[in-house]
Amino acid sequence: MSLNLFSPAKLGSINLSNRIVMAPLTRNRAGEAGVPQSINVTYYEQRATAGLIITEATPISEMAHGYPLLPGIYTDAQVAGWKKITDAVHAKGGKIVIQLWHVGRISHPSLLPNNALPVAPSAIKPAGQAFTYQGLVDYVEPRALDASELPEIVADYVHATKCALAAGFDGVEIHAANGYLLDQFLRDDSNKRTDNYGGSYENRARFLMEVTEAVVAVAGADKVGARLSPVNPFNDMKDSNPQALFNYVTEALSRFNLAYLHVVEGGIHGGGESEPFDFSAMRKLFKGGYIANLAYDKARGNTAIASGHADAIAYGVPFIANPDLVERYSVDAPLNEADSSSFYGGSEKGYTDYPFLGA
Ligand code: PHB
């Protein structure tokens, strides 16, 4: 019998009871000082039947923030808050990794310590507006990082990884997608550097490789995944040759023997038509697990797994509205509709009150 969404899997050292992964989802409902609170415990616990939960993108430092009410993973109080979540998920037999995030230029001084300018590979203002506590505000021109500052950011990833392990996570996912800091280094529309971190594919990938090497040294490669989004235009991103760049990045990441590569196979947030791209080339170049993401449904997920395109499928919006998505898929039950007005911020409404089957 061929594999499908309900087949167990192993990604690095992480044993999944099925291949239905909960995608990282920004929900803006953390407590004070970025400490996860009890509604966050309930939310993740409700979704523990996923083969693997990837948490919402989580800032690794004060400078990594870019939206209101994000949980962090760099203080003792945050570790204690997350520990309640990992304990609750594990008690239900689930697995959970945390997505490590630095937003780079997708931020605003009002969200940063001492009204600091956001940082980026190059001083290029992205088109669009930041979500701040004061509402939507135009992005500002970020400050280009000096190469001498990069080791401090690598150290922040290391510290956050140690915090994640202390909080009981099964692993960490390095967020190098969707136009945030590491992706800003990768793609040449946001990286115009003339030093060792800009220009060639090798140079643009250097910072991601340094981060990966440092995170792997702390967590072990079999507990580390990475997320890429080669053609996602979200956050004003583009690259002159995404296939060549991301084939290079995939091969370079593959050498670390990571648990998995997680690929956003197109444009998010209604990013619409993205340019043609051969994702199967990345799948073939990567020797660890491959998690595919982007508007998959049950049928397409099963096909991708049966054909060998992916080892697991990450579902986003369906998991917002269906805490028991795995059961619903297994019995072909109808899905709850997601209410997009409660995606970002708010209370239990649209967060922990979606009904389970039979409720
Ligand atoms: C978002 O908040 O819209 C968001 C956050 C992280 C992502 C993508 C989108 O990777």
Q: Which pLDDT belongs to residue 46?
A: 99
Cα four-point dihedral sign 70, 197, 213, 277: positive
Q: Which pLDDT belongs to residue 132?
A: 97
Q: Which pLDDT belongs to residue 274?
A: 74
How far, in Å, are 126, 270, 341 from residue 294 at the CA level? 24, 11, 20
| Residue pLDDT, tens place only, 201-258 | 999 999 999 999 999 999 999 999 999 999 999 999 999 999 999 999 999 999 999 9
Query: 111 C-alpha vs ligand 1 centroid, how far in Å?
Result: 16
Low-confidence stretches of the chain (pLDDT beneath 50): none
Q: Measured from the CB, is residue 26 less than 6 Å from ligand 1?
A: yes
Active site residue 157: no
Q: Measured from the CB, is residue 212 less than 6 Å from ligand 1?
A: no
Q: Which listed residue (43, 139, 180, 260) is catalytic?
A: 180
Q: Measured from the CB, is residue 57 less than 6 Å from ligand 1?
A: yes
Q: Which pLDDT belongs to residue 359?
A: 83
> Which of 310, 335, 301 is closest to 321 using CA atoms?
335
Which residue is closest in CA terms to ligand 1's atom 3? 26
Q: Enumerate the domain spans of the chain.
A: 9-342
- The answer to whether residues 50 and 322 touch, using CB atoms and an 8 Å cutoff, is no
Query: 46 C-alpha vs ligand 1 centroid, how far in Å?
Result: 22
How far, in Å, are 1, 24, 40, 85, 128 from residue 227 at the CA level? 30, 10, 23, 22, 23
Q: Which pLDDT belongs to residue 270?
A: 76
Structure tokens at 57: 């993108």
| Residue pLDDT, tens place only, 262-288 | 999 999 987 756 789 999 999 999 999
Q: Which pLDDT belongs to residue 273?
A: 62
Residue whose CB lies within 8 A of the most ligand 1 atoms, among 28, 178, 294, for a mutation test: 178
CATH architecture of 9-342: Alpha-Beta Barrel (3.20)
